[in-house]
């Protein structure tokens, strides 16, 4: 029966992370997966999350199914965080929001929605993008192409080429964008570039699908949502996926949201109904626990403040690590290949190391980064940054 089923080649991120767990070496360093580890190399449980969880467990209630669209107070709180409390589109009921299984769940429900209602549309992702973007959209039956994005020579953005590429797309093409902390490059658009891009999206009647998995890890919770809020304020019909895996350190609770910005409240109600139907036919309804934690933090002012301040401390630690690896590599790497460690934002730096160099880093030194050269700088700490720097220097020297 199953003879024709070929072996799964594995996932470029999650399989590598699993292989890291199996590696018996004591000195191994995991800079592969996009996870924030603290100074002691541990996955933090944020204080606000601890307190919210304690309060929830102190008053355990029955555990009914959640509605298909998710926990209503969660949906409202998440919409407020993503779009801002004062967002006119939100006040007018023009945003359809469902609770999803993390950001990936939001992308999948969104991809199914696109396949159903825009069956001819192709999806355009940045070159490069998070590997799972392609997998999710292709598995939903959509064709995925790329638009220009990263400039290896400068470690920056090919903005003119990106804009020209997107300006040439057929009407109603889906353009997948990263709101902030671009994965895998750490290269983002500035406000003026977003304004220009949004004007093109509007003029060409394209359908933006914005993935915001790192809100709070770039220039702050509000600034990171700039593009999303601009789209809503300018009334551009769009899809937005958001996730609490990273900014709440709630990876395994699978908390996210899918938001569709519509042109009227009536349209939003119909869209919400169809998203709900999609959830029902996939997994019926989402889980409760993580959504309750996020809701309590976002609706209790002192917990919100505690969460924001811990998140900002995490960002400051990442910035220190960026500086530490940059300074450690001063003697070994030059120009843009060095400055990208401090210029690129969020959890990732696109190191420019080749697949062979990445393999040598792993095999000879136990340092895991992605085959693409993506390094998760949020996995560095005061103890491992020195050995990681030395390992990179050795790999580069042996290649020279």
Which chain residues interact with ligand LMR by CB under 6 A? 13, 33-34, 130, 132, 183
Query: Given 188, 194, 246, 307, which residue is catalytic?
Result: 246
Is the CB of residue 50 less than 8 Å from the CB of residue 297? no
Nearer to ligand LMR, 318 or 333 (CB): 318
Is the CB of residue 140 less than 8 Å from the CB of residue 106? no
Write out the two tokens for 87: 């967002």
* Min CB(377)–ligand LMR separation in Å: 12
Question: What is the helix (H) or strand (E) element at residue 75, kind and residue range?
Answer: helix 72-83
- Residue with smallest beta-carbon separation from ligand LMR: 34
Nearer to ligand LMR, 183 or 247 (CB): 183
Query: Given 112, 124, 194, 211, which residue is catalytic?
Result: 211
Is the CB of residue 270 less than 8 Å from the CB of residue 237? no
E strands, the chain, are 29-30, 95-101, 123-127, 144-148, 150-151, 156-157, 174-178, 207-212, 238-243, 255-261, 348-350, 367-368, 374-376
Is-catalytic flag, 246? yes
Q: Which of 400, 341, 330 is nearest to 374 (CA)?
A: 341
Nearer to ligand LMR, 183 or 381 (CB): 183
Q: Which of 238, 215, 218, 196 is nearest to 322 (CA)?
A: 218
* Min CB(388)–ligand LMR separation in Å: 17
* Min CB(293)–ligand LMR separation in Å: 20
- Angle among Cα 348, 195, 227 to the nearest 5 degrees reads 50
* Min CB(183)–ligand LMR separation in Å: 5
Query: Given 124, 130, 194, 307, which residue is catalytic?
Result: 130
* Min CB(386)–ligand LMR separation in Å: 24
Q: Which of 284, 307, 294, 304 is nearest to 76 (CA)?
A: 294
Nearer to ligand LMR, 103 or 155 (CB): 103
Nearer to ligand LMR, 135 or 283 (CB): 135
| Catalytic center residues | 130, 211, 246
């Amino acid at each position: 029966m199953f003879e024709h089923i070929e072996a799964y080649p594995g996932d470029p991120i999650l399989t590598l992370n699993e292989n890291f767990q199996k590696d018996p070496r004591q000195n191994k360093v995991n800079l592969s997966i996009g996870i924030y580890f603290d100074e002691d190399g541990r996955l933090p449980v944020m204080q606000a999350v601890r307190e919210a969880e304690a309060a929830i467990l102190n008053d355990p209630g029955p555990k009914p199914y959640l509605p298909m669209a998710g926990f209503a107070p969660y949906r409202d709180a998440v919409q407020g965080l993503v779009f801002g409390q004062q967002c006119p589109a939100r006040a007018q009921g023009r945003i359809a929001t469902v609770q999803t299984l993390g950001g990936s769940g939001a992308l999948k429900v969104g991809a199914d929605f696109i396949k159903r209602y825009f069956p001819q549309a192709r999806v355009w992702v940045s070159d490069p993008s998070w590997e799972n973007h392609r997998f999710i959209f292709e598995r939903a039956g959509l064709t995925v192409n790329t638009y220009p994005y990263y400039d290896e020579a400068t470690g920056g953005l090919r903005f003119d080429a990106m804009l020209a590429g997107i300006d040439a797309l057929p009407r109603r093409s889906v353009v997948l964008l990263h709101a902030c902390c671009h994965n895998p490059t750490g290269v983002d658009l500035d406000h003026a570039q977003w304004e220009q891009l949004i004007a093109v999206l509007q003029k060409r009647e394209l359908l933006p699908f914005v993935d915001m998995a790192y809100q709070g890890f770039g220039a702050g919770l509000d600034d990171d949502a700039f593009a999303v809020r601009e789209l809503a304020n300018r009334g551009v019909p769009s899809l937005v996926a958001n996730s609490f895996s990273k900014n709440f350190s709630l990876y395994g609770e699978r908390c996210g949201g899918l938001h569709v910005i519509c042109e009227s409240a009536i349209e939003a109600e119909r869209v919400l109904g169809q998203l709900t139907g999609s959830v029902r036919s996939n997994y019926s309804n989402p889980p409760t626990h993580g959504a309750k934690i996020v809701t309590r933090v976002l609706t209790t002012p002192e917990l919100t403040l505690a969460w924001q301040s811990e998140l900002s401390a995490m960002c400051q630690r990442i910035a220190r690590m960026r500086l530490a690896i940059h300074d450690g590599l001063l003697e070994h790497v030059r120009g843009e290949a060095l400055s990208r460690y401090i210029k690129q934002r969020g959890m990732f730096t696109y190191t420019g190391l080749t697949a062979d160099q990445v393999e040598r880093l792993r095999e000879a030194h136990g340092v895991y980064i992605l085959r693409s050269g993506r390094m998760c700088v949020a996995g560095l700490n005061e103890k491992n940054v020195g050995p990681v720097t030395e390992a990179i220097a050795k790999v580069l020297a042996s290649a020279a």
